[in-house]
Amino acid sequence: MNKLLPTSRRRTVSALAIAGLLGATSLATITAFDHPTSAIAQTAITRAPAEGFGDLVEKVMPAVVSVEAKLGVQTSANIQGGDDEEQSGPQQMPDLPPDSPFRQFFEQFPKRGFGGQPFEFQRPRSGGVAQGSGFFISDDGYVVTNNHVVKGASEVTVKVSSDREYKAKIVGTDPKTDLALLKVEGSERFSYVNFSAKAPRVGDWVIAVGNPFGLGGTVTTGIVSARGRNIGNGPYDDFLQIDAPINRGNSGGPAFNLDGEVIGINTAIFSPSGGSIGIGFAIPAAEAVHVIEDLKDKGSVTRGWLGVQIQPITDEIADSAGLKQSEGALVADVTAESPALKAGIKIGDAIVRLDGETVKDPSDLARRVARISPGKPAKVTVMRDGSERQVELTIGSMPTDQKEANAKPDTEEATPAKPKLGLTLEKSSDGHGVVVSAVEPESPAASKGFRAGDVVLKVGNVDVNDPTALVAAIEQASKDGHKNVLLLVRSGERQRFVALPTAKG
């Protein structure tokens, strides 16, 4: 069964899982861990790739390590992501964006338990051992690896290429980007590598070094196949896709350019079998540098916060909302007491620029806001009712994530909508919105991701609290010649806009 798989391995557990949240902040240059007089990466490799990579490998190999994490007693609480964890319940399709190249693949397997939600796995109840890779970023023993390699570890051991082993402590972890920073105990000096300050190009050579299946010091080569991949693992997804073979155990290991600089941190693979098929994913160096610096300085990561739920602007949504192009991020909800609410940003606004620079999509906005320090001012340009408006606000500090609640609609007084929509609707028990009690398979609504329990709050800019009013509003949009009508839909505690085709559309 095909699935996204993290690349580290646990000896005592055979189940496979998805790597944790990836992608974070962006930094153009490196300020920390930059030691130009002694770094391995200082000696560039200019030999043509056809002549081999031996000189390069000899220089970087001493900085690459195997990471072994002894796991303490774990609870059975569900977690998302992680490495080689014991699976609980049927696997479900990751919550992929509509334009993800992997959505069509997962949707081909409805009978295998894929249901549109992120994978969920459980930690084993007893101890075990997780294996992964890592690399030194300073001569005093700081090591970068993946969070899912060391998550729940009671003891961490680092083994260098000479087979010497060292105890290491966890300095800090960041689940949102699946990064962790370790510190080898003692005063010994180590060979290390630098992150690359230059973004790789598609087609550039890449050399991966790591510990696949416990085989330390393994080297594979390939090219950068794509940039900016979003596979639905988190709000900051911005993977490099590489075709250098990586497997379980490569998690946390470096991907090098021909100068011996780290361009990415190997984290996940896409595979039908659990082994490499040439589709691997690495966290870009530029996205990891700031996270690692924060972990070193504070043990945690501080991110900027706007306080909005956002979604992509599709062509259908752009048409429904009267936008000229499908760029930017559509505001589906505004958090109470947030910087966005205080600045006057509203549901239905399309955020098109941040500090004067065009916002490409929700991921672009999320990454850029995250790397603005809390307390800093920002200018946000929104499209509202066909015109641009600029608001000034002060970026907040991202709060702790809150658990989403499931909608529990009253099942009485169900009123079928028109068959062409594929929805059965009923009044909400609290009088706010219209509840979807059933969705007809293969209907327009089903194709747009509607599910039983969803609540339709608005049709266009009009609040709806009655099924008849909702259907009438859709029919009126059809009479007015609109191809799509925009619905504001709440699923649990999250909201999104959906462009539903009208009868004429």
Give the DSSP H or E segment for 156. Answer: strand 153-159
Residue 28's pLDDT is 25
Catalytic residue among 133, 251, 276, 478: 251
The alpha carbon of 122 is separated from its chain's Cα centroid by a whole number of angstroms, namely 20
User: Residue 281 carries which side chain, given as an amino acid letter?
Assistant: F
Q: Is 487 exposed, middle or buried (0-12, 13-18, 19+ CB in 10 A)?
A: buried
Catalytic residue status for 251:
yes
If phi over 0 gives left and psi between -120 and 50 gives alpha, with beta otherwise, what is residue 480?
alpha
Three-state secondary structure along 22-83? Answer: CCCCCCCCCCCCCCCCCCHHHCCCCCCHHHCCHHHHHHHHHHEEEEEEEECCCCCCEECCCC
User: Residue 475 carries which side chain, given as an amino acid letter?
Assistant: E
Catalytic residue status for 363:
no
Catalytic residue status for 133:
no
Which residues, other chains included, contact 394 with Cβ-Cβ below 8 Å and sequence gap of 6+?
A: 339, 375, 376, 377, 378
Q: Which domains does the chain have, with CATH numbers?
A: 3-298 (2.40.10.120), 304-397 (2.30.42.10), 415-501 (2.30.42.10)
Catalytic residue among 84, 138, 148, 191: 148
Question: What are 130's two structure tokens?
Answer: 């997780």
Question: What are 179's two structure tokens?
Answer: 């990064």
Residue 6's pLDDT is 59
The neighbour count for residue 230, using CB atoms within 10 Å, is: 22
Q: Please report, to the nearest 10 degrees, the dihedral formed by the alpha carbons of residues 244, 249, 254, 257 taken in order.
A: -10
Instruction: Give, for all 505 residues of the chain, the pLDDT tens digit.
Output: 455 555 544 333 333 333 332 333 222 233 344 444 456 555 555 455 677 899 999 999 999 999 999 986 543 333 233 333 333 333 344 455 555 555 444 444 433 333 333 322 233 333 588 899 999 999 999 999 999 999 989 999 999 999 999 999 999 999 888 999 999 988 899 999 999 999 999 999 999 999 998 888 999 999 999 988 876 666 677 889 999 999 989 999 999 999 999 999 998 888 777 778 888 999 999 889 989 999 999 998 888 999 998 888 888 888 877 788 888 999 989 999 999 999 999 999 999 999 999 998 888 898 889 888 899 999 999 998 888 999 999 999 888 653 332 333 333 334 444 436 778 888 887 778 888 888 888 777 887 888 888 888 888 777 888 787 787 777 777 776 677 788 888 888 788 888 877 754 3
Residue 277's pLDDT is 84
Task: Compute φ and ψ for 285, nearest 5 degrees.
Answer: -55, -45
Q: How far apart are CA 471 and CA 477, in angstroms?
A: 10
**CB-CB contact of 219 with 253 (8 Å):** no
Catalytic residue among 178, 238, 294, 361: 178
* Helical residues (DSSP H) of 309-361, grouped into ranges: 315-321, 339-343
